[in-house]
A and B are shown apart, each in its own frame.
Chain A
Amino acid sequence: MPSLSFTSNLTRHVDCPDAEFDASSVAQLFDLYFTRWPGVRNYVLDDQGAVRNHVIVVVDGHGLNDRRHLRDSLSSDSEVFVFQALSGG
């Protein structure tokens, strides 16, 4: 199943353990994760549901293409990482 991991910088603020979910897109993966850990959502996504301006999502080694709607597709062994961008201070 696709996996989701977070930068350790985020664990300082909110509990966000690594997890795996049966998901075919990043949007679905995030939805499932935020259903389980709802407090993480607004650390990663902004008020409109887009990826925050200074957050980076890496999907299988590449930057997320659709930062607004998260429609990038996933394979069964995809690895998704959420990092803090070096921009933004």
Chain B
Amino acid sequence: MADRLLVGTRKGLFRIERQTSGQWDIVHSWFLGDPVTAVLADNAGAKLHAALDLGHFGVKMHRSTDNGDSWSEIGAPAYPEKPDGVEDKDPFRGLEIPWNTQMIWSLEAGTADEIWCGVIPGGLFRSTDDGDSWRFIDALWNDPRRKQWMGGGYDFAGIHSILVDPRDPAHATVGVSVGGVWTTRDSGHHWELIGTGLRSDYMPPDKAGDPLTQDPHRIVQCNSNPDRLWMQHHNGIFVSDNGGRQWRELSDVTPSSFGFAVVVHPSDADTAWFIPATKDEQRFPVDARLVVSRTRDGGHSFESLRRGLPASPAYDLVYRHALDIDSDGERLAFGSTTGSLWISEDQGDHWQSVSHHLPPVNCVRFEN
């Protein structure tokens, strides 16, 4: 089981470590004062990657090869030069889409030294040398349907979920806010838009079922059953049994089917966790009561987990990358926009408060 957790926040990166007493404490901090938007912990070794958003000075990538004892800046994924005369505008607001990496939103490992990186405004990159260099996935960017993507929460579209098939690392599936679900079978050279059964209530009725208009907030994949995907969508919770081609909506999920984060048990595809919020403009726990929703039967039923979570009114919102599960499927952690962090060692039955005083949490990741 993982005894260490990385927490990326608006004001730095933190390591939380389990003590012999069972208490989890903050034991390290890095990049204090700087927003950390994504982290990656190499499961096989001592490598860590952290994506920083320095605001004025742009997006930066840092890597440690000694478990965080030291860090070095490495190349950040950058867009190619925009050809003269190319018009590239948001389809509904008419804003010019910048060909600049504005934020690194997702980092996922593939094969050895392979890293996928999704960014705002909608670019996807792949490195095969552990981040020393990045290849822009132009086949996805140049697909004419990409120009129909639009911002979801941010001004421009972004890629927040990257699922690398453990059976075939050339098979990757990405989630786009707002632009649906796309899959490749050849490491990014060709792409297919998938996602039948999804529903977008924020579009006119004739567009509601269009896979291109979907706003997946987060998609996760079961490691032992990679055809089973779970999705927290803007309009609810969806599940797929064929790698995202067809989705089934789960209705009547209490207290809410709205939220951002989801994780699935790595070896039990029917068990998944969500953190519900009041949809969709308000975005705080329903009735100000923070709970975690768990299904153990593939979404037929859900239970609200609350032991150890605040009994008093709470207004924590949990971002899409701020909930994680360890590789054994026993330990979970989540952090909130109000700087709270909780860990469970029993699949969510009980939660331990780690801190209520962190900066706003962007992402959490177990170091398995």
With both beta carbons as reference points, the residue of chain A lying nearest to B77 in the complex is identified as A47
| B55, B80, B98, most chain A CB atoms within 10 A | B55
Shortest distance between the CB of B23 and any CB in chain A (Å):
33
A47 with B100, Cβ < 8 A, contacts A39-B73, A42-B76, A42-B78 known: yes
CB pair A52–B81 under 8 Å, yes or no, is no
Is B350 engaged at the interface, CB distance under 8 Å to the other chain? no
Do B73 and A48 have beta carbons less than 8 Å apart? no
Complex CA distance for A84 and B54, rounded to whole angstroms: 11
Question: Is residue A10 contacting chain B, with contact meaning CB distance below 8 A?
Answer: yes
Shortest beta-carbon distance from A64 to chain B in Å: 15
Do A88 and B55 have beta carbons less than 8 Å apart? yes
The count of chain A contact residues (Cβ–Cβ below 8 Å) is 19
Is the CB–CB distance between B58 and A42 below 8 Å? yes
Pair A43/B58 contact, Cβ less than 8 Å:
yes
Tell me whether A48 and B56 are in contact (CB under 8 A): no
Q: Which of A48, A54, A85 contacts B82 (CB 8 A)?
A: A48
Bound: A70/B54 CA distance, A? 23
Which residues of chain A are within 8 angstroms of B79 by Cβ–Cβ distance? 47-48
Most buried by B among A46, A52, A84, A89: A46
The distance in angstroms between the C-alpha atoms of A13 and B73, with both chains bound, is 10
The answer for the CA separation of A46 and B121 in the assembled complex, in Å, is 14
Q: Is the interface of B mostly helix, strand, loop or mixed?
A: loop
Contact: B81 with A48, CB < 8 Å? yes
Question: Which A residues between 28 and 78 are near B, CB-CB below 8 angstroms?
Answer: 39, 42-44, 46-49, 52, 54-55
Docked-complex contact A13 and B54, CB < 8 angstroms: yes
Summed over the interface, the residue pairs from A and B with CB atoms below 8 Å come to a total of 44
Most B CB contacts (10 A, CB to CB) among A13, A49, A88, A89 go to A13
Q: Shortest distance in angstroms between A24's beta carbon and chain B's nearest beta carbon? A: 24
> Does B315 sit at the interface, judged by CB under 8 A?
no
Who on chain B is nearest to A89 by CB? Answer: B55
Q: Would you list which residues of chain B between 31 and 81 have a CB under 8 Å from chain A? A: 54-58, 60, 73, 76, 78-81
Chain B residues closer than 8 Å to A54, beta-carbon distance: 55-56
Q: Ordered nearest first, which 8 A-B pairs have the shortest CB separation?
A: A47-B79, A54-B56, A43-B57, A47-B78, A47-B100, A46-B100, A84-B56, A88-B56
Q: Give me 28 A-to-B residue pairs in the complex whose CB atoms sit less than 8 angstroms apart, sorted by A's number.
A: A9-B56, A10-B57, A13-B54, A13-B57, A13-B60, A39-B73, A42-B58, A42-B60, A42-B78, A43-B54, A43-B57, A46-B58, A46-B98, A46-B100, A47-B79, A47-B80, A47-B100, A48-B79, A48-B82, A52-B57, A52-B58, A54-B56, A84-B56, A84-B57, A85-B56, A88-B55, A88-B56, A89-B56
**Chain A residues in the interface with B (C-beta under 8 A):** 9-10, 13-14, 39, 42-44, 46-49, 52, 54-55, 84-85, 88-89
